[in-house]
Homo-oligomer: A and B are copies of this chain.
Amino acid sequence: MPLGLIEYKDASPEVRAVYDDIMATRKTDWINNFWKALAHDPATLKRTWEDIKQIMAPGALDPLIKEMIYVAVSVSNQCGYCIASHTAAARKKGMTDAMFHELMAVVGMANESNRLAAGYQVEIDEQFKTS
């Protein structure tokens, strides 16, 4: 069976430190199940959170755009939990209905044309190799 979830009150100081940083960084007062499950392995909890914190921070791409890319990947992989959590996160960061609809349309189209390219055994154009 699943390992269950580690709530804040039951967490070790090491785990609580990560929980605190998650809540502070996200300006929220709760921890979603993903982290409570990972907390069974503090090393993975800490590494995963620090990687996500670094990767999803503002940079050349806006955090909302990054969150939408996360949704695109999660949808392509059929990860139910990730679709639910990252769609919610994208909405919180400002994704409108219109943006969500276009995101889904692109994800669907890309998944379709990925298979057409494979099925027709299309070779990569020289132009794409050299420019």
A: residues with CB less than 8 A from B are 1-3, 30, 32-34, 37-38, 40-41, 43-44, 47-48, 51-52, 54-56, 59-61, 65-66, 68-88, 96-125, 127-131
Contact = CB atoms under 8 A, between A and B. Distances in A.
A105 B115 CA distance: 9
A76 to B, nearest CB: 5
B69 A110 contact: yes
B131 A70 contact: no
Given A98-B59, A101-B40, A117-B81, A73 B110 contact: yes
Given A37-B120, A76-B77, A88-B1, A107 B115 contact: yes
Nearest to A54: B47
24 contacts: A1-B128, A32-B125, A33-B122, A33-B125, A37-B122, A44-B108, A48-B108, A52-B113, A56-B109, A60-B98, A60-B102, A68-B69, A69-B72, A70-B109, A73-B73, A73-B76, A81-B118, A81-B124, A82-B110, A84-B129, A86-B110, A87-B119, A108-B119, A111-B111
